[in-house]
Amino acid sequence: MSETSLGLTPSQTVGPYLSLGLPWPDGPDVVPAGTPGAITISGTVTDGTGAATADAMIETWQADPAGRFDHPDDPRGAVSPAESGHPEFRAFGRTPTDDDGNWSIRTLLPGALPGQAPHIDVSVFARGLLDRVVTRIYFPEFADANATDPLLAVVPRDRRHTLIAVPDGEGRYRFDVRLRGDDETVFLQL
Amino acid sequence: MTPPLLQPPGYLPVPDGTHPPLNSPGYKSTGIRAPSQQPVVLPHRLTEVTGPLLTGPVNPGDDDLTIGEHGEAAGQRIVVFGRVLDSDGRPVPDTLVEVWQANAAGRYAHRWDNWPAPLDPNFTGGGRALTDSLGNYSFTTIKPGAYPWGNHHNAWRPAHIHFSLFGRAFTQRLVTQMYFPDDPLFAQDPIFNSVPEESRHRMVSTFDLAATRPEWALAFRFDIVLRGREQTHFEEPHA
């Protein structure tokens, strides 16, 4: 097969001006304001010098609260937002960082997937990143599920906390992304 | 009833020599932004083989960057078009393609871009389109100019258009840059040259005389290839 396959298009950096092409007004709203059960996940993206990264973008992708996706390649079948009881849930979030490197999305807690703890897949794009870097957000209240999650199990114990959001008040979490250096976020190879 | 297949087939691995290494010393800011630790391998499971199938954020006219608020954008009008395919040659239909670029003078309509080339009040430099059922997309735009940047002595970016694609799965997400054929600035650009040599040509569009619009616009073809699927396996996964 490989001799007939097409060569992949290489990745390049988004550069410093991604905000001309990528953000949407409602990008950070995986669910709209006022949605029952909505949570907010916020954080800061910092670089290897500890400086805030003002020209980054975060994208999130996750299951709905029942652990289902509106996608035909889920072998369990696609479940649309209307069928799931969360008609305005988009599953996808996108936000640039602000001048202080901060980002925030409003969403619903993902449900558990078979054999996996509830999680959100995250892409980080920025000037100086020639390809996106990928990580995952897990949640502290699912300690039992996290303890048996197959990804967390292979992450070195002393770095595992970088994948777990920190409670930050009612319905609020923090998830900081440290691209490089001290307490560097665990990034994933897909 | 067959139990659900909980470990769906994933996407083919990215061959070595495709993407640039995150730490590419010629491009200075990789030194403070590229992670220092090896990534942890994430096998493809449900979250990775699914992804946003977005068709909402495209409005009529979003694929024409030349129509400004007060008139036409300045510069050479071009059509940029092509197909989005996966590495098995299958088209990627109904997927969002987003672009952004500098104007004809090489300046971005962005508050941080302050090099002294003229801004064009009729060119914001952002566009969106969806691929059709065969994976085709097309934009009408202005050929972007080259511009200097502070990476090294006399550093100039070759003319380029930024592209963003979702594909059909989280695993296929790609941001890249399209370049123009025979650009004399390739040799000194560390971002273009961060990609292994054998793969750089895949970022370079081709001039297509047959696709030009007579008396109107030059045309450049840029086909984009995303990761293909692993073979579907039918046996039950082992517990």
Tokens for B227, please give them. Answer: 């990761």
pLDDT of residue B232: 65
Which chain A residue lies closest to B107 (C-alpha atoms)? A17
A163 vs B: CB within 8 A: no
**A82 to chain B, minimum CA–CA distance in Å?**
16
Using pLDDT thresholds of 50, 70 and 90, give the confidence band for residue B231. Answer: confident
Q: Cβ of B32 and A113 within 8 Å?
A: no
Determine whether the interchain pair A128/B35 forms a contact, defined as Cβ–Cβ distance below 8 Å: no
d(CA B208, CA A144): 58
Facing B202 at nearest CB: one of A7, A17, A190:
A7
Mutation for testing the A interface, residue in B30, B42, B44 having most A CBs under 10 Å = B42
Secondary structure (DSSP) of A121-178: EEEEEETT-SS-EEEEEE-TT-HHHHHH-HHHHHS-GGGGGGGB-EE-STTEEE--EE
Query: Chain A residue closest to B44 (CA)?
Result: A190
| Interchain CB distance below 8 Å, B224 and A9 | yes
Alpha carbons B120 and A77: distance in angstroms, whole number: 49
Q: Which amino acid is at A177?
A: V
What is the distance in angstroms between the Cα of A38 and the nearest Cα belonging to chain B?
Answer: 20
Q: What is the largest CA-CA distance in chain B?
A: 68
Q: Which of B162, B173, B200, B221 is catalytic?
A: B162
Confidence band, pLDDT 50/70/90 cuts, at residue A72? very high
* pLDDT band at residue B8 using 50, 70 and 90 as cut-offs: confident
Kindly state the average pLDDT of the residues A27-37: 97
Mean pLDDT, chain A, integer:
96
A13 CB neighbours in chain B (<8 A) are 27, 175, 177, 191
pLDDT-based confidence at residue A1 (cuts at 50, 70, 90): very low
Chain A partners within 8 Å of B170 (Cβ): 61, 121, 123, 190
Residues of B in contact with A189 (CB under 8 A): 39-42
Q: Determine whether B233 is an active site residue.
A: no
Residue B179 falls in the annotated catalytic set: no
Q: What is the CATH number of domain A18-178?
A: 2.60.130.10
Q: What is the pLDDT of residues A43-52, one digit of tens each?
A: 999 999 999 9
pLDDT-above-70 percentage for chain A: 98
**Token representation of residue A105:** 């999305």
Looking at the complex, does the CB of residue A131 fall below 8 Å from at least one CB of chain B? yes
pLDDT classification of B2: cutoffs 50, 70, 90: very low
Q: What is the CATH number of domain B62-225?
A: 2.60.130.10
Predicted ipTM of the assembly = 0.96
Would you state the pLDDT for residue A86? 96
CB contact under 8 A, A22 and B225: no
| Helical (H) or strand (E) element with B30 | helix B30-33
Hey, is the C-beta of A33 within 8 angstroms of any chain B C-beta? no
In the set B27, B108, B137, B179, the catalytic residue is B108
User: What pLDDT band is residue B1 in, cutting at 50, 70 and 90?
Assistant: very low
A-B contacts (CB, under 8 Å): 236
Structural domain boundaries in chain A:
18-178
Q: Is the pLDDT of residue B155 over 70?
A: yes
B157 labelled catalytic: yes
* Angle, CA A93 vertex, CA B222 and CA A31 arms, to 5°: 140
Give the burial class of B197: count Cβ atoms within 10 A of its Cβ; 0-12 exposed, 13-18 middle, 19 or more buried.
Answer: exposed
pLDDT at A127: 97
Over residues A116-122, mean pLDDT = 98
pLDDT at residue B3 in the model: 45
From the candidates B160, B168, B227, B229, which is the catalytic residue? B160
Let me know: does A57 contact A176? Beta carbons within 8 Å.
Answer: no
Residues on chain B touching A127 (C-beta within 8 angstroms): 29, 33
Residue A120 reports pLDDT greater than 80: yes
How many angstroms away from the CA of B172 is the closest CA of chain A? 10
Do the chains contact at B32 and A90, CB–CB below 8 Å?
no
- Mean pLDDT for A126-142 is 98
* pLDDT digits 0-9 by tens, B60-116: 999 999 999 999 999 999 999 999 999 999 999 999 999 999 999 999 999 999 999
Radius of gyration in angstroms for the set of CA atoms belonging to chain B, rounded to a whole number: 20
